[in-house]
Amino acid sequence: MRDPVRSRLSIRAFRFRITLPALAGLLFGALPLERCSATPPPTRIARPVILLMLDTLRADHLGFYGYERDTSPNLDAFARESIAFKYAFTAAPWTPPSVATMLTGLYPSSHGHQPPDASEDALSNMRRLSSELVTLPEILRPLGYATAAVSPNPWISAPFGFDQGFDTFEYRPKAPAAVIASAGIALIDGFVRRGRPFLLYLHFFDPHDPYSPPERYA
């Protein structure tokens, strides 16, 4: 069954021609160039960038990767209109260093953000994402981009430094996908009204524990 909220988010993505190759090019192509350049790049059309993080989702349980059950109709539709990478590997086996890599373009051995697996220990030891690192939103803000993030994951939050470079960072503890998507749509509508190019990071937590599927799937 298609989720109407997620479908609306997908429609907005298609409207802005946000594609996986464009995002990949920004993360892995433009990032090192922007770091090394002392002057802004030439003026060009600034397209919005939406980064969707589906926490703990298994690739082999998605339709466009060959899973036989109809688990991901909206993602399958998006993949048909874009590019799906056949081979992709995470930089780390858990969330904080993985997201740190996505936002900095650095391997965990370089960014060093690998806090203990207990939030109390991590906070007491101040294991935050280093403010000395340059993040994707910090690269885009000087180019006129508005930057915003919505996260339900307690690790991906301001106390661990993940608000770095974002104009707006909303932490919504373990909120379901419908809440995260609705918050994202509201942010997109605001950016469009103001005529701003934007970077939007949305973090979805539903595949993660505690497992609380809708009753029909329980």
Query: Roughly what angle, to the nearest 10 degrees, separates helices 73-80 and 4-15?
Result: 10
Closest CA to 50 of 217, 214, 204: 204
**Does residue 22 belong to any structural domain of this protein?**
yes
With 0-12 CB in 10 A as exposed, 13-18 as middle and 19+ as buried, what is 37?
exposed
Q: What is the dihedral of CA 101, 46, 44, 25, to 10 degrees?
A: 30
Query: Are residues 196 and 151 in contact, defined by beta-carbon separation less than 8 angstroms?
Result: no
In a domain, 218, yes or no: no
What pLDDT, on the 0 to 100 scale, is given for residue 116?
74
Q: What percent of the chain has pLDDT above 90?
A: 59
Residue 176 lies in a domain: yes
Tell whether 144 is covered by a domain.
yes
* pLDDT computed for residue 125 by the predictor: 64
Which range marks the domain in which residue 104 is found?
Answer: 13-36+47-56+94-209
Question: Looking at the domain assignment, is residue 51 inside a domain?
Answer: yes
Going by C-alpha positions, the residue among 55, 40, 31 that lies closest to residue 135 is: 31
**Domains in the chain, number:** 1
- Residue 33 tokens, joined: 């160039």
Tens digit of each residue's pLDDT (9 = 90 or more) over 90-132: 898 889 999 999 999 999 999 988 877 777 776 666 578 999 9
pTM (whole model) above 0.85: no
For the chain, which residues score pLDDT lower than 70?
Answer: 1-45, 122-126
Cα separations in angstroms, 62 against 69, 77, 84, 102: 8, 11, 11, 21
